[in-house]
Amino acid sequence: MRLLFLLYGCCLPVCLLAQPKDSSRRSPSGDSVLQEIIVNAFLSHQYWKAVPAAVAIVMSKEINRYSNTSLVAVLNTIPGLRMEERSPASYRLSVRGSLLRSPFGVRNVKVYWNEIPLTDAGGNTYLNLVDINQLTGAEIIKGPAASMYGAGTGGALLLKSSQELSPASQNHFVAGLTGGSYGLFQQQSGWQYSSKNFASAIQQTHQQSDGYREQSAVRKEVLKWQGLWQAKKQQIKFLIFYTDLFYQTPGGITLAQMQLNPKLSRQAAGSFPGSVQQKAAVYNKTFLGGIHHTVELNDHFSIKSFFTGNRTAYANSFITNYEKREETNYGAGTNLIYQAKTTNSLFQWMNGVEWLYNHSLISNFGNRSGIADTVQFSDNIYARQWFAFSQVQYAIHEKWNFTAGLSLNNQTFRFKRLTDPVPFFADKKISLVVTPRLAVLYRLTKNVSLYALAAKGFSPPALAEIRPSDGKYYGELAAEYGWNYEAGIKGDLLNGHLQFDMAAYFFAVKNAIVRRNNAAGAEYFVNAGGTKQQGMEALFKYQLIQNNRDFISGWHIWSSYSYQPYRFEEYRQTTNNYSGNELTGVPRTIWVSGMDLQTGKGIYMHVSLNATASLPLTDANDAYANAYQLVQLKLGFRREQHRKKFDLFAGIDNLLNRHYSLGNDINAAGKRYYNPAMGVNFFTGIQCWF
């Protein structure tokens, strides 16, 4: 902390003497949170309230509410979303219950960054490689979106880091420091250049922490280069980043151990050593590059295309083995868009194709106190995934909006165990799947819309499920699929002061993939028969004050609510019948509310409460994680002096010092379900734009 305050003293004068910043970086803004929002989900480029879908928006204001070290708190404000953190940098993301099959990372949800896919052909996404400081917003499509984004019954997450051009050449810089409890330290810097036709940005972040629990330290290095070139009819965007990520994995503990000492890591049991002895940790070095090209052929036709490639060196020191992976990924796609507009109507017809390729060399060794020992088995795996889609949208008199889409989806795996006496390839092919989507929206008034939709989604088993950490090959796993029926109302009232979004849905999933553990704690997956995932969601934002001339220049309150009474259907395991049980890992209700306050003098405050209900930890519903209430507070001072800007802030997470587990190991062997989160903890920092 002494080092942090010393660096404050060095940085603050530089901020006050610096040049102005005028770009799309996440600089402070006094704009209303209830402003009109343009979304690009389903390539619509329409106002949020005119899109016939459940699309949630995260803007820079929402990102700035919390600590700039993690996306967890930000995404958990969205109804229907749940982001978990078993240890620092070990994330899981669920959209409407898709955590059922996600032991780590992001599966069942397709992720893009600036229209370039981060999800690979094997269905996995390393969301922990992305640095929150390098994002300006996100869009979340909730529910099946296979008609345009391919496999994934959960939906799609569209990350954004936007750039702007300027009439004259400009250079801008950003620098920041953050420190906090348990050895948290973050340093960031960046340079941006913009001109009439070209923009370029280089950003760097270093983040580290000792962690709250034993064996939970983390270190992350990120370097990103992003660019934009624009001519009269063309635009090219490129994204290149390198992430070197290391994080220790403390592992789950029992309820008795958590009550005795929540800082404990997984303890030795029987013949199995503990996390500290095995130096349990993950090492991930990933280089990714992508380019996205848009060209307007004429007044009616345009083409959008991308190409991407990445290389990952991954290692996981686990209790029972030491896994090493070398992953190579490629992807390409193109969309042809036709648009015709008249005085009273808009017609769009979009056709496209996307192709993803993954090659993984995976080897498992014995783990001798964190050192890879004798090889146990070595595998060579190829995964390919492609889909083609066509979608028509027709809007009439600004009252009706009709959408119909259809996609064809295919995925194949080739698996060979190189350590077998006679290696041979085992092929697995997911039969061609047709996924339609129909939606209609009616505008009751200019500002309020009703919509209804029916969409089929499917999600094949991911590579990490066909070949999980127990080392076996599960080629018999079937894809899960189902129909989602949904209706909603959204818009704004009271002259734009009140914004609302409410939806009810019914999603019946067949062949649901669920996670199980063997006696050693290694995971594997089975098809569970089916689930009924019906629920309701609501989001409200109310602007009490927005007047820059008053002392209180902005005052907003907001609230989100998720009701998720999900159940298993026709789920039997040997002699056990779990039909009708609550869906594992899904809380019945989540309520998140908060307040944003700012003054004309630059002082601001953000406070929020997350009340999450208890959730079942096993398919048998014989163990539950307790409900918890999480209060988070951030105070800050923003100042613009001689057109230079800085933001000095401090905050508290878990203000009530609740004992809870933010990430749970469902169906864990030995009842090691719990990964305790931090008690009350603090952070403080400064960011400068010049």
Q: How far is CA 630 from CA 73, 264, 627, 679, 681, in A?
A: 10, 21, 10, 10, 12
Residue 659's Cβ-side half-sphere holds a number of Cα atoms within 13 Å equal to 11
CB 605 within 8 A of CB 634: yes
Please, which pLDDT band fits residue 667 given cuts at 50, 70 and 90? confident
The residue whose two tokens read 């500290």 is 276
Helices (H), 222-326: 255-260, 275-278
Residue 37 is predicted with a pLDDT of 81
Antiparallel, parallel or unpaired: β 55-58 and 552-563? unpaired
The number of residues making up the chain comes to: 690
Domain count, the chain: 1
Condensed to tens digits (0 to 9), the pLDDT of residues 339-369 reads: 999 888 999 999 999 999 999 999 999 999 9
* Calpha distance 223→131 (Å, rounded): 9
Per the structure, the complete domain to which residue 612 belongs is given by 2-383+391-689
Burial zone of 171 (CB within 10 Å; 0-12 exposed, 13-18 middle, 19+ buried): exposed
* Calpha distance 581→596 (Å, rounded): 39
| pTM for the whole structure | 0.92
pLDDT of 432 > 90? The answer is: no
Mean pLDDT score of the chain: 89
Condensed to tens digits (0 to 9), the pLDDT of residues 218-259 reads: 999 999 999 999 998 999 999 999 999 999 999 999 999 999
Residue 19 is predicted with a pLDDT of 36
Condensed to tens digits (0 to 9), the pLDDT of residues 20-73 reads: 333 333 433 333 444 578 888 888 788 888 899 999 999 999 999 999 999 999
CB 111 within 8 A of CB 141: no
CATH classification at residue 76: 2.40.170.20
